[in-house]
Amino acid sequence: MTKQMNLRLDEDLIKEFEELAEQENLDRSALVRKILIEGLQQERLNFALQKYMIKEISIERAAEIARIPLHDLILKMSQLGIPSNLTIEDFEKIL
């Protein structure tokens, strides 16, 4: 089921959408939908990683928030060089 959502955008931005839609052989709405879906996924991931990095949430919670498999999150974190949230103090407590 779809619902209508109205957005007010700058003329320049609309022009950019139209140009890219033509180049990609898509209609303008389809391109906006595609970009919104990809942008939303990326935003969820960024939000989850930020929360993880400031130690507010765990790694598995971050995967839940980002709505991606844990395997994928671990891979992405490794590629981005995001360090494990374990600290030297954590290791001193358990060793």
Partner 1 sequence: MPKFIFDACSLIYLTKINLKEKLTKLGEVIVSQTVKNELIEEIDQFEDAKILSRNIENKIIKESSYKLKDFFTTKNLGQGEKDTIEICLKDEGVLVTDDHKALNLALSIGLKPKTSEVILLDLLKKSVIDFEKFTKSFEELALIKALKPEVVKFIFTKAKKIIKNNRNNSTEEIK
Q: Is 58 in the site for partner 1 (CB under 8 A)?
A: yes
Does 57 bind partner 1 (CB under 8 A)? Our answer is: yes
Q: Does 94 bind partner 1 (CB under 8 A)?
A: yes
Stretch that binds partner 1, among 6-14, 15-23, 37-45, 54-62 (CB under 8 A): 54-62
Pairwise CA distance, residues 31 & 39, whole Å: 12
Instruction: Quote the CA–CA distance of 93 and 82 in Å, as a whole number.
Output: 23
Cα dihedral 8, 12, 13, 15, rounded to 10, equals 110
Q: Site residues (CB under 8 A) for partner 1?
A: 55-64, 69-72, 74-75, 77-78, 81-88, 90-95
